Amino acid sequence: MNVGKDLRRTKIVATMGPASNTPAVLSDLVKAGVDVVRLNMSHSDYTGHRQNIATVREVEKELGRPVCILGDLKGPEIRTGLLETKEINLEPEDLLALTPEKCTGSTSRIHISYDDLSSDVSPGQLVYMSDGAISMHVEKIKGKDVFCRVERGGKLGERKGLNFPGANLSLPFLMEKDYRDIEFLIDQNVDFIAASFVRCASDIVGMRKFMDEKGGEGIKIIAKIETQQAVDDIDAIVKISDGIMVARGDLGVEIPIAEVPLVQKMIIAKANRRGIPVITATQMLDSMTFNAYPTRAEVTDVANAIIDGTDAIMLSGETAVGKYPALTVQTMHKLAMKAETTGVLKLEVAERETSISRATSVAACLLASQLGVAAIITITSTGATPCRIARNRPQRPIIACSPDKKVIRQLLLVWGVSPFYLSEQEYTDQIHADSKSIARKAGYLKEGDLVVIVSGIPVGVAGSTNTVKVDKLD
């Protein structure tokens, strides 16, 4: 294998669903390039999710390669209720009452799943339904009913989401279902949990506390940025989170849609500087849900996200319910490989690094660039060192060797990192020799190659990265 030519550095996240939940199809997806499997907790039940997780682990064992699992929480959603017919047509200037009272919806009155909306909004508030397809504004409030004047009409189905851009809704960040889902995901030992509709850094702090109390210390949190409040508090959220998702679906409804590309670039840049993985999500190859070929706009969108510096690109309905799940992943892989040939990402070095671990990581990247090494090998117990190295976007493969299988799976989300299992060892020389052997067997190294090895003394102590070694393979 010519790793330098064939290695894709951008990671692929695929959502599991009816179109991809069999061992055969999921195996095809992983072989096509999927690194991370996403479980959407808004759909299915625990029996279904438990079976999907078992399928992932079965495929992992069959293929002899790790697969990361990300559980995506539903979050504090407001949805419409049942309708007289499966679909109603709203016309401009219609007056529609939103009510928490149970009723069968019509063109004049529909049920919503939130009791306190009348206390949280005021006349003039914008309201969107069906991912922004229908727009209204609040005209008046009477008791618990919120009367809205339709501005942009359209067809409304049952159980569709509502958005209230800029409103400070008193919904809790984590609903009762989310707490139950977190406990289930901890019990299933997933690798990441994505938090939906994050508003501020304190939301993540509270979620982390709950997870730690329930035994989920090793599971990392991805903060989904999809509200104006989260955009406003992005620096604090990036600082406290383990990863970020640019969730462009709701984000494109909560903020002016023309701002989404610029906000995406800003969020990716901040996550890159912090050295945490960032996922770009929503409608990346949406047309491939039903078609065997993407649009030119989608191809450009994927390429631009990669050029912006995203660690991962995500597929949602395309692999969950689409007609061509494996073909979609193959297409995403090809697009990523081509976009990565631009070489626009450059090594950024701070004038002065005060952290030994960070300075060691920068030194490794500089050496790799100057000497033209074949790969950078990092020995890690927590995954922090390969993340710091990936932050500098070196143009050679990053081989991460760890004795922790959860860390190995979590590193599958990080740009440019290829993780491998290495059993715990006592002596540095033996660790270096074994890590080189692993990289060589995997096709990353051959006789005569130079390699940079980053490790720490004392061995196996988190945060002890302090050694850079340049070695030549005999």
Catalytic residues: 38, 79, 224, 282
Identify whether the C-beta of residue 144 lies closer than 8 Å to the C-beta of residue 101.
yes
User: How far apart are alpha carbons 327 and 25 in whole angstroms?
Assistant: 11
Q: Which residue has the tokens 């069906």?
A: 130
Whether a cis peptide bond, with omega within 30° of 0, leads into 458 is yes
CA angle (129, 132, 137) in 5-degree steps: 65
Question: How buried is residue 470: exposed, middle or buried, by Cβ count under 10 Å (0-12/13-18/19+)?
Answer: middle
Residue 144: what residue type?
Answer: K
Q: What's the sign of the alpha-carbon dihedral 212, 214, 219, 224?
A: negative
CA angle (209, 215, 219) in 5-degree steps: 75
The token pair that represents 49 in the structure block: 């999710």
Residue 247's DSSP bridge partners are 281
User: How far apart are alpha carbons 280 and 243 in whole angstroms?
Assistant: 11
The token pair that represents 343 in the structure block: 């070489």
Residue 278: what residue type?
Answer: V
